[in-house]
Amino acid sequence: MHGERRSNATHQSTTDPDARLARNGPGKEARLYYAWHVQMDNRHDLVANTRLTQASGKAEPTAALAIAAEIEGQGRVTLGADKGYDQQELVRALREYRVTARVAQKVNTAIDRRSTRHPRYQLSQWRRKRVEEIFGWLKTVGGLRKTRHRGIARVGSTFTFAAAAYNLVRMRNLLPVAT
């Protein structure tokens, strides 16, 4: 009905039951979405890992922990992220994985001075914006602005395939030009 509030409890897609209603920003309408998560290598701006989840208020921290658990190696690593990841439980759990959270800060932030005092924090905040270029490429060139498939498994494999194609194009641009 016109004017009726829609939520995932009252509405479900007839064509894709895995998709969930979510807003893409304040004041925007709720539409059916999946949540895309990308782990990017800061040195070369390559996609290191992908994760597709159902859109929900808890999708970001859950995906971040799953991706952090898959990071190989023994040393401490850093994770740059936007404000959606600035949550007390997530920052605490990332420290257990030996991951330093360099997250954009909200007003009541979970990030303390241990992380923000280093000059590399400002650098990571500048570099983390490069992940938006990946999302832009995936939407325009990779054909993911509107998915052609239904179901989290198929959309997820399309997302991972498009991210691999992005890496191939990016690696081509990283190679020295042959003269």
Mean pLDDT of 46-68: 84
Structure tokens at 48: 């290191």
Look up residue 29 and give its DSSP letter.
P
Q: What is the pLDDT of residues 105-153, one digit of tens each?
A: 766 776 666 667 667 777 777 777 788 888 899 999 988 888 888 888 8
Residue ranges of domains in the chain, CATH in brackets = 20-174 (3.30.420)
Say yes or no to pLDDT of 162 above 90. yes
Structure tokens at 66: 């799953």
**Mean pLDDT (the chain, rounded):** 80
Distance CA 19, CA 8 (A): 9
Say yes or no to pLDDT of 165 above 90. yes
- pLDDT, residue 120, reads 74
Break the chain down into helix, strand, coil percent, rounded to 5: 40, 20, 40
Q: Look up the pTM and report it.
A: 0.76
